[in-house]
């Protein structure tokens, strides 16, 4: 069953995995953005969500979030950008079903990236010691 969720003011601010668990339990489509709060640490896992109409980004003020991995196992469509620059703790990014990104992908420091189904993005910016 498809369930669209629209966050207040168009943004889900996530500060812990428990915030993502709530979104994953209730939504297959997020009508808005997901922003990692600057106190986010540990793994980031968002199963079941197939579509996000806007972006996924990190909040960089006043300091950077510290996710260690990001697993977007069911995501197929992202309407805007995937902006994860300057996250020195992010070792792995996996979005194996992601086909379309409506704008840019910004990745810094990520060591392992799985975007095997990606067909469309405006631009991809990557820096760091990427192994695959």
Q: The pTM is what?
A: 0.93
Q: 14-21: list long-range contacts, CB under 8 Å, 24+ apart.
A: 14/40, 14/44, 15/39, 15/40, 16/40, 16/42, 17/42, 17/43, 17/44, 17/45, 20/44, 20/45, 20/46
Confidence of residue 105 (pLDDT cuts 50, 70, 90): very high
pLDDT in the model for residue 109: 85
Place of tokens 């990104």: 101
- What strands, in cross-sheet order, belong to the sheet with 29-30? 4-5, 29-30, 51-52, 77-78, 100-101
Tell me which of 34 and 89 has the higher pLDDT.
Answer: 34
């Amino acid at each position: 069953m498809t369930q669209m969720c629209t966050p207040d003011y168009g943004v889900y601010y996530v500060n812990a995995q428990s915030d993502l668990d709530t979104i994953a339990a209730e939504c297959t489509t997020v009508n808005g953005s997901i922003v990692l709060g600057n106190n986010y640490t540990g793994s980031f896992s968002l199963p079941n969500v197939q579509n996000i109409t806007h972006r996924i980004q990190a909040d960089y003020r006043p300091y950077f979030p510290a996710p260690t991995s990001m697993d977007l196992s069911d995501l197929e469509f992202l309407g805007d950008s995937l902006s994860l620059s300057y996250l020195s703790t992010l070792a792995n990014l996996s979005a194996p079903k992601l086909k379309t990104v409506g704008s840019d992908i910004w990745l810094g420091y990520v060591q392992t990236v799985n975007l095997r189904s990606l067909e469309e993005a405006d631009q991809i910016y990557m820096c760091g010691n990427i192994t695959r």
